């Protein structure tokens, strides 16, 4: 059984169809990338999975069970953490308080100190700045905080929406390294939405390509990286 | 001379405490859902009447039970108002919500007027009110001191709740990013309901204190509500510390104006203070410019 399965998912904004029945399947422990240009529907797909958006058709299964009746605030306690586009940190709260809110739905209270230690081990900078307001962190630090906060939920699946967006090349490398580390050391399954196809395909096992609301390609990262259409549209001339 | 000044300061502290109990509700609701809840002054009025009813219906009800009970009942009314009138409009234009709040306020005023009539009443004295002679000719009644102390205690409890508990942290996060709060597993409706409950409970305490010191009537929330709103804005709306500072400052200015200038100037000076302060500090005394969302 796949940990996350999306079947024929359609989402519209009024008359605008953003997703026209897409299928996705993610196995436990995988990193799966979802690639696509601006406006392809990547964010829409993640927001539908975490129930921030109503869906018009199809189904979303987590460990074989439909979650389309679960309220937004119920999704994280199932084990799905969503790091939204633009990071979604709470600028007027301190780094510590941001991390603490990540534990809101975490039922294993005894695991929280260990989780916090792990977050601080992976992101030493967050520990240095734990009393600082999140709004005063740099973009890269905010992304780390968003990832750390998702770790605090003790999730099985992370939905990451363009974690490398707007970061300097050094931070981009760091963010992808950390995603790989979280996946490797904790076995967290990751659905990675990216425009940086080059980097995403380096760490992902498999990938899907979304174009104006439809999945047009899928395969292993290796196959996708060599696909002429992907090379042309998403990998640039490298 | 000094004795009168101290006397006036104590009066100002009592009035400031009542303002603060109301202003905190404005600031908390604004701090979570960015709504200026113009019905809040009328919730303060309702709180006074709930206290009045409790005392009338259950004679001999100890004040230590009456006040918390009235706070609880008024809290539930506040939650109901949010549920019925505001929730559906949460994602609507800001203006629709403000108009609705004004409408709710007028509705409450008229509802109470129809139910109990327009006349002013005093909540029978419940707090001990022996006259105490402090040195130097300063005279104060026990209830005045109690009002100031209870109010300060409520403010401290509120501060700890908002700044040191997980629910309080979630409350502050709602204003930052409503979607992200829900992604943490927080039930938004529950947090917003809690905000209304706490704000309404504090306003009820204010209504009762005011109704014992002066009187209650269906329209008392208009004047007091505006003053408390101004206090919240002076302090920096959205900030709890700001609401308290603004309230005591405004009360101080009012009381001193009445004592040393003329009571006719009271409102003119209060509103003038608002305008001048906002020209100097547009976000209020404790207000920060909104941190840019990155
Ligand atoms: N709130 C909205 N109202 C109306 N249309 C929307 C809304 N949000 C997104 N859309 C439209 O839905 C489509 C998909 O948008 P989405 O944000 O999912 O794209 P994306 O793949 O995440 O793009 P990007 O890479 O720029 O983030 C776009 O055509 C967009 O204009
Ligand atoms: Mg997007």
Q: At what angle do helices B166-176 and B2-33 cross, to 10 degrees?
A: 70
Nearest to B126 by CA among B69, B176, B181, B74: B69
Nearest to A126 by CA among A109, A108, A144, A114: A144
Per-residue CA distances from A202 to A33, A196, A197, A232 (Å):
10, 10, 8, 17
Q: What is the distance in A from the centroid of ligand 1 to the CA of A17?
A: 10
pLDDT at B28 > cutoff 50: yes
* Nearest Cα residue in chain A from B174: A90
pLDDT in tens, A192-222: 999 889 899 999 999 999 999 999 999 999 9
Q: Which distant-in-sequence residues (6+ apart) come within 8 Å of B136 by Cβ?
A: B2, B3, B6
pLDDT computed for residue B6 by the predictor: 84
Name the nearest CA neighbour of A100 among A170, A63, A143, A151.
Answer: A151
Tens of pLDDT, residues A26-35: 999 999 999 9
How confident is the model over B198-222, as a mean pLDDT?
95
Q: Looking at the complex, does the CB of residue B165 fall below 8 Å from at least one CB of chain A?
A: no
- Domain assignment present for A17: no
Q: Which of A86, A87, A104 sits opposite B184 (nearest CB)?
A: A104
Residue A130 lies in a domain: yes
Q: Which residue has the higher pLDDT, B285 or B40?
A: B40
CA distance B182 to A163: 19
Helix (H, G, I), strand (E, B) or coil at B60: coil
Environment of ion ligand 2 (residues, CB < 5 A): A 43, 85
C-alpha dihedral, B195 to B198 to B200 to B206, nearest 10°: -140
Quick check: is A143 in a domain? yes
The domain of A230 spans 28-51+74-234
Whole-number Å distance, alpha carbon A12 to ligand 1 midpoint, is: 10
Count other C-beta atoms under 10 Å from residue A111's C-beta: 14
What number of C-beta contacts closer than 8 Å exist between A and B?
85
Choose among B113, B91, B90, B92: nearest CA to B42: B113
What's the number of domains chain A is made of?
1
Asked whether residue A181 carries a pLDDT value surpassing 60, the answer given is yes
Contacts B186 to A, Cβ<8 Å: 73, 101, 104
Ligand nearest to the CA of A38: 1
The strand pairing partners of A210, in sequence order, are A215
Checking if the pLDDT of B294 tops 80, the result is no
- Counting Cβ atoms within 10 Å, is residue B11 exposed (0-12), middle (13-18) or buried (19+)? buried
In this prediction the ipTM stands at 0.94
The answer to the question of residue A220 being in a domain is yes
Per-residue confidence (pLDDT) for residue B290, from 0 to 100: 54
Beta strands A80-83 and B131-133, pairing class? unpaired
In a domain, A33, yes or no: yes
Backbone angles phi, psi at A161, to 5 degrees: -105, 100
Structure tokens, A163? 């974690």
Q: Mean pLDDT of all residues in chain B?
A: 90
Q: Which chain B residues are within 8 Å of A81, Cβ to Cβ?
A: 183
Q: Let me know if residue A218 belongs to a domain.
A: yes
Query: Ligand 1 pocket, A196 CB below 6 A?
Result: no
Give the residue, out of A12, A41, A215, with the most ligand 1 atoms within 8 A of its beta carbon, to mutate for a pocket test.
Answer: A41
Band of residue B293 on the pLDDT scale cut at 50, 70, 90: very low
Tens digits of residue pLDDT in B99-142: 999 999 999 999 999 999 899 998 887 778 788 887 777 888 88
- With contact defined as beta carbons under 8 Å apart, do B73 and B234 qualify? no
Pairwise CB contact (< 8 Å): A91 & B185: no
β-bridge partners, B121? B216
Considering only the beta carbons, identify the residue of B166, B173, B182 that sits closest to A90. Answer: B173
- pLDDT, tens digit, for every residue of A223-237? 998 988 888 777 764
For ligand 1, is residue A41 a contact (CB within 6 Å)?
Answer: yes
Instruction: Find which of B184, B291, B293 to mutate to test the A interface (most A CBs within 10 Å of its CB).
Output: B184
The CATH number of the domain holding residue A44 is 3.40.50.300
Task: Say if residue B39's pLDDT is above 60.
Answer: yes
**Which pLDDT belongs to residue B289?**
58
The residue behind tokens 């701090």 is B31
Q: Is residue A2 part of a domain?
A: no
Q: What is the pLDDT of residue B288?
A: 67
Who wins on pLDDT, B75 or B9?
B75
Q: pLDDT tens digits, residue range B138-180? A: 888 888 889 999 999 999 999 999 999 999 999 999 989 999 9
Question: Is B4 a residue whose pLDDT tops 70?
Answer: yes
- Whether A10 maps to a domain, the answer reads no
């Amino acid at each position: 059984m796949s940990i996350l399965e999306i079947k024929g998912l359609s989402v519209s904004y009024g008359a605008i169809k953003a997703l026209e029945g897409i299928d996705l399947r993610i196995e436990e422990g995988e990193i799966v990338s979802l690639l696509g240009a601006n406006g392809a529907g990547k964010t829409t797909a993640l927001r539908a999975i975490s129930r921030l958006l109503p869906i018009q058709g199809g189904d979303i299964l987590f460990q074989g069970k439909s979650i389309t009746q679960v309220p937004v605030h119920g999704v994280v306690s199932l084990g799905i953490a969503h790091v939204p586009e633009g990071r979604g940190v709470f600028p007027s709260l301190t780094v510590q308080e941001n991390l603490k809110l990540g534990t809101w739905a975490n039922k294993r209270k005894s695991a929280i100190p260990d989780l916090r230690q792990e977050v601080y081990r992976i992101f030493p900078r967050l520990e240095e700045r734990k009393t600082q307001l999140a709004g005063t962190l740099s973009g890269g630090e905010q992304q780390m905080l968003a990832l750390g906060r998702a770790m605090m939920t003790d999730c099985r699946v992370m939905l990451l929406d363009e974690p490398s967006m707007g970061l300097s090349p050094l931070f981009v490398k760091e963010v992808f390294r950390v995603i790989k580390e979280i996946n490797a050391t904790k076995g967290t399954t990751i659905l990675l939405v990216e425009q940086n196809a080059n980097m995403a395909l380096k760490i992902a096992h498999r990938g899907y390509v979304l174009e104006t609301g439809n999945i047009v390609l899928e395969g292993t990262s290796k196959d996708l990286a060599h696909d002429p259409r992907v090379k042309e549209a998403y990998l640039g001339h490298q | 001379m000094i004795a009168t000044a101290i006397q006036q300061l104590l009066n100002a502290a009592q009035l400031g405490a009542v303002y603060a109990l109301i202003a905190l509700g404005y600031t908390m609701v604004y701090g979570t859902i960015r709504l200026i809840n113009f019905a809040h002054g009328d919730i303060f009025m309702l709180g006074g009447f709930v206290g009045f009813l409790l005392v009338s219906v259950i004679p001999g009800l100890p004040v230590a039970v009456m006040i918390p009970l009235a706070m609880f009942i008024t809290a539930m009314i506040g939650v109901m108002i949010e549920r019925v009138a505001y929730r559906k409009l949460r994602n609507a234009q800001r203006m629709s919500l403000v108009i609705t709040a004004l409408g709710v306020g007028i509705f409450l005023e008229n509802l109470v007027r129809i139910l109990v009539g327009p006349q002013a009443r005093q909540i029978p004295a419940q707090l001990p009110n022996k006259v105490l002679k402090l040195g130097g000719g300063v005279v104060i009644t026990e209830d005045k001191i109690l009002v100031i102390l209870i109010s300060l205690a409520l403010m401290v409890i509120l501060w700890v709740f908002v700044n040191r508990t997980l629910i309080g942290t979630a409350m502050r996060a709602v204003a930052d990013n409503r979607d992200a709060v829900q992604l943490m597993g927080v039930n938004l409706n529950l947090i917003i309901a809690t905000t209304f409950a706490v704000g309404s409970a504090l306003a009820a305490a204010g209504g009762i204190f005011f109704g014992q010191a002066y009187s209650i009537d269906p329209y008392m929330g208009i004047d007091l509500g505006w003053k408390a709103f101004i206090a919240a804005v002076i302090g920096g709306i959205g900030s709890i510390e700001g609401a308290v500072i603004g309230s005591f400052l405004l009360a101080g200015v009012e009381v001193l104006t009445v004592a040393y200038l003329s009571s006719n100037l009271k409102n003119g000076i209060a509103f003038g203070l608002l305008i001048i302060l906002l020209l100097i500090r547009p976000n209020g005394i404790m207000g920060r410019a909104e941190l840019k969302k990155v």
